[in-house]
Amino acid sequence: MPSAFAAPERGTPTTLVHTRPVPADPDDLLPELQVTLMALTGLEVRHEIELDCLEEWSGQDRVKRSLYAEREWAYQQARDAHLERLAGLRERIMGHH
């Protein structure tokens, strides 16, 4: 009887079996979830403060628009990363049930 770890016979195609990640206990993920939510909240607060400062700034409109676009792009990149992390945590938690 061949071993489960035996190499495939010559000429036999090998296939990779896709397995789902082992679900995590939601309680074990709580610290990661809290840190991610705190980071997202901090990002939102900083973004609002930056926009308020730009709005009140007496600089040229062209420069303000450029700075606003730059800040908006950076905010969206950071926000997307946090939301992706949350989605991964949710998937791991939901896989537990």
φ, ψ for residue 20, nearest 5 deg: -75, 150
Q: For position 20, what pLDDT does the model report?
A: 47
The answer as to whether 23 is a domain residue is no
The answer as to whether 2 is a domain residue is no
Which distant-in-sequence residues (6+ apart) come within 8 Å of 20 by Cβ? Answer: 95
The answer as to whether 74 is a domain residue is yes
Q: Cβ distance 30 to 54 under 8 Å?
A: no
pLDDT classification of 96: cutoffs 50, 70, 90? low
Q: How many domains does the chain have?
A: 1
Closest listed residue to residue 43, CA positions, set 89, 91, 1, 85:
85
Task: Provide mean pLDDT across the span 4-27.
Answer: 50
The answer as to whether 51 is a domain residue is yes
The answer as to whether 43 is a domain residue is yes
pTM over 0.85: no
Q: Which domain holds residue 78?
A: 28-94
> pLDDT tens digit string along 44-70?
999 999 999 999 999 999 999 999 999
The answer as to whether 69 is a domain residue is yes
The answer as to whether 18 is a domain residue is no
The answer as to whether 38 is a domain residue is yes
